[in-house]
Amino acid sequence: MMCHAFAGQAIPEHKSVVSLGFLTLAPLIAGLLCWWRGRAGAAQGWLLLALAMLLWAGGMAANVLVYLALGNVTGESIASMLLFVLYGVPIIFATASPTSEAWPVRLVDAILAAALGGLFFAHTSTFSTMAGASVEGAGKLARMFDIENVFIAVFALVRFSACRDAAERAFFKALSVYALLYLMTAAYINHWQENADFGDMVDVIIDLPFLALMVMAAHAQPTQDRPVQIPLRRERLVQAASPLMLPATLLAVATALVWTHPVWTMAGFALATLVYGLRNILAHLRNLEERDRLDALSRTDGLTALPNRRSFDVALQAEWARACRSGGSLAILMIDIDHFKQLNDRFGHPEGDCRLRDVAKALASCATRAGDFVARYGGEEFVAILPACDAHQARDLAEIMRLCVLNMALPSPAEGGVVTVSIGVGWGRMTKANTPEALLSRADEALYEAKRGGRNAVRLLEDLPFPNAAPG
């Protein structure tokens, strides 16, 4: 600011061009620092803020060209007015479109932000430029810029008040400070110094928000030792209300055009309604996909990618009910990795996890029928449901699984030097008097017999009485 003031006084005959140069350079430096901050891995909003600074600097550069070509130092060109209006678009987009949204939703938000910029410009172009407008028109034009600046400041403060993430909170804090300083500076220049020419000392005040932004953008990424205490209700309210910021602002600006540009007003209403509806559809689809993904995760074992115990319980109840209705049979295989504790103790848990994944893959590859179901039961135990098969078919598949694991020759500290499994087969014909728990208990008892008999074996205890089973 001191350099700006001194240079204007040192070269009074060129003070306008000197001042315009400083007013172009300040946002460019601020934008460069914002770009550097964004590229360094901070919040994505820094890159959008860098774009905003570039647009603002472009607007001031257009004024330089007007001055050099025409000697006009009293006002802005229509090109500079457009760039000054568009300057707010990426900032509004950064505040109103959460980065957590999917890219199609953010694309819709970008369309709304661009439409908002277009309506702002349609309104400002009604009054041409500050220099060419009447006193009444200049006042309306200044108020229009006030509205844009107020929206930016309010949106930034709202997001800052409900942000937990350290990087995003630092960005919205910087943006809030900058937006408030810019709001006050622009209001002072537009309402109380509207007749000042470029090159007057008042131009130095315009540097203030950009200098503040330079300092905040250059500051090292803050560390957050402990989470910020944000009321959950406020956080959820802001998350729910953020998507309304853009369409609500678009409707407000479109309403302001009703007397001067009724066609633009109708277009703004239609666009806000249709695009916001499209945004809701896309957001709802994403929510459904996320729900399905979470449901799948809740039913899948994270280590082996097999269905987990919860999925097994649901599948067993379903297959049991189906077998009871048809009077068919059902088999359950209880599978246990032999000497798994020794393997974990000798090779370590990471290697044990690898063995679990290898065994799970082998077991799943053996269950090739459409209705076969293999899951991780817990620890080193697996379980398989085999609907509509007789006892000998179930035993044969269990033997195939045992040999498949044995032939993989996975290293083990146990006797034999390779990983083996023991499998117990529970089988029976279903009646409504029986329970799935009884069948599971039968398979578990058969597994115990396989373990007691020396491991690396399959046992089918056909001679065990099946509780409450029908004869035959």
Give the active site residues: 380
Pairing label, strands 458-460, 421-429: parallel
How many C-beta neighbours within 10 Å does residue 440 have? 20
From 105, 91, 101, select the one nearest 156 (Cα to Cα).
91
Rounded distance, CA 179 to CA 177, Å? Answer: 6
Q: Measure Cα distances from 292 to 216, 285, 311 in Å.
A: 42, 11, 14
Would you put residue 220 in left (φ > 0), alpha (ψ -120 to 50) or beta? Answer: beta
Pick from 456, 468, 385: nearest CA to 427? 385
> What does the alpha-carbon distance between residue 142 and residue 154 come to, in Å, rounded to a whole number?
18
State the Cα–Cα distance between residues 113 and 93, nearest whole angstrom.
6
Classify 120 as helix, strand or coil: helix
Phi-psi region of 259 (alpha: psi -120 to 50; beta: other; left: phi over 0): alpha
Please state, in angstroms and rounded to a whole number, the distance separating the CA atoms of residues 192 and 176.
Answer: 24
189: how many CB neighbours lie within 10 A of its CB?
18
Query: Taking a C-beta distance cutoff of 8 angstroms, is the pair 454, 470 a contact?
Result: no
State how far the Cα of 241 lies from the Cα of 247, in Å rounded to an integer.
11
Count of other CB atoms within 10 angstroms of residue 237: 13
- Helices marked H in 299-417: 309-326, 340-347, 349-366, 391-407
Residue with structure tokens 């703004």?
Answer: 268
455 sits in the region (left: phi over 0; alpha: psi -120 to 50; else beta) called left
Phi-psi region of 253 (alpha: psi -120 to 50; beta: other; left: phi over 0): alpha
